[in-house]
Amino acid sequence: MKIIITFLGIQAKKTTYSFEDKNYDGEVFAEALHKFCNYDSMLVCVTKEAKKTTFPILENLKNERIQAVEIPTGETTEQMWETFKIITEKVNENDSVIFDITHGLRSLPFLVFLFAAYLKAAKNVTIEAIYYGAWELAFSNNGIAPVIDLSEFVSMIDWLTATERFIEIGDGQALANLLKTAIPSSVELCNNPASRPLKSQLEKTAKSIETISLALNLTRPIETMQSAIRLEEILKQAEPSFAERAKPFSLLSERVVKEYGQFALEDPTNQVALVENLWLQLQMIEWYIQRDRVVQAVTLAREWLISVLVLKFGELMFDKNKGRKYVEGAINNAVENRKALPRPITPSPCDEKLTALPQVEELLKVWSQMAELRNDIAHVGMNLNPQPALKLKEKALLLYPQLQKIAEELLPERVITE
């Protein structure tokens, strides 16, 4: 159903309004709106006084689709909440809504933008337009008042929310979806071939955001670093497209670059880049912890500790069957050897290298804590004494300073480049 929600003040003034190059007269804007807009229902929000003074103008149209909705005068916050409740209850799931904010109190535009944001989120409502009949501009426009559609600015809330979600928790799907809606349609591309670069750039941006978001969700540090490099490049290239098709994001893209640029590393698997890679992974662990992404933090921390030792011992970083297996075997052997009744072990080429480290006891303690935490998380609480989620988070928080200390002792210093 398409609903017009309009508001009346207590004064009327015959005005000529211009909409899509045609003129329409009305003593109140809703009268003109009735003439040029298709709708199923017009809800006319009126105070008791407005119902007496200006609503009769619309009543005289003798149209059963037009109905008065009494609202408070809005003198207090409580009355504004009451208005909010009255109006939102009149709208159903999946309705299409047009707002008119021409008349009424000066606080009205602020409230309408909140109505629009709420209805979109809570009832999946489509905000077709937010019209303002700018009658005061008629004096400088040959007596003709332009009709302005402000609905584009409601989308700013969507862009802010989606960008904040991407930055705060790494979920970029909502932001990618908004960028996809800005892509020129097939009809536009056919009529205006010059818009094809816009399509390409917006598609690349959306895909890049989806890629880094998924890499973070699935704990893929290497892919995250590579994706961060591409994201920075694509965002810079696509700036003109944002200004033309996604204006809100043109104001927000710098925040995305700043947030994910911290993980950018070109060719992170190159031997020369491994030190910076591991420092960035430590940074990523902290990023996960700060956002309550405990599963990802602990998963990455375990592999990071092995990686630090692989680098320290000169083993092959990405060889699961040799370098990484040798280091993990040496750690597990050392842990087992410290038990009162150790099980038989399989020697590792890294056993002596590990035991020779001054930090070996500290490393084994952290490894044991991490293994216990990771196992508890991996078994999703399906045991007799599962730890509460809050306790798991607390343990992850306590784990990070120990990882920092290990990094300072075992990793070479970072080379800071401008």
Asked whether 47 and 70 are in contact (CB, 8 A), the reply is yes
Q: Give the helix ranges, DSSP H, for 9-66.
A: 29-36, 48-53, 55-59
Q: What is the mean pLDDT of residues 188-217?
A: 88
- pLDDT, residue 416, reads 60
Q: Which residues pair with 148 in a beta bridge?
A: 132
pLDDT (tens digit, 9 = 90+) per residue, 44-73?
A: 999 999 999 999 999 999 999 999 999 998
- pLDDT, residue 418, reads 46
How far apart CA 155 and CA 158 sit, in angstroms, is: 5
Q: Report which of 74, 256, 240 is spatially closest to residue 162, judged by C-alpha positions.
A: 256
Q: Give the helix ranges, DSSP H, for 172-246.
A: 173-181, 186-191, 196-217, 221-237, 239-245
How far apart CA 306 and CA 354 sit, in angstroms, is: 11
Taking residue 382's Cβ as centre, other Cβ atoms within 10 Å add up to: 7
pLDDT (tens digit, 9 = 90+) per residue, 273-308?
A: 999 999 999 999 999 999 999 999 999 999 999 999
- pLDDT, residue 175, reads 93
- Complete DSSP assignment for 267-299: STTSGGGHHHHHHHHHHHHHHHHHTT-HHHHHH
pLDDT (tens digit, 9 = 90+) per residue, 322-372?
A: 999 999 999 999 999 999 888 999 999 999 999 999 999 999 999 999 999
How far apart CA 262 and CA 257 sit, in angstroms, is: 8
**What are the Cα distances from residue 391, in Å, to 278, 331, 395?**
27, 26, 6
Q: Report which of 284, 337, 279 is spatially closest to residue 308, judged by C-alpha positions.
A: 279
pTM for the full model? 0.81
Asked whether 50 and 62 are in contact (CB, 8 A), the reply is no
Burial 246-266 (b: 16+ CB within 10 A, else e): bebbbebbeebeebbeebbbe
User: Measured in Å, how far apart are the chain's first and last C-alpha atoms?
Assistant: 58
Largest interatomic CA distance in the chain? 97
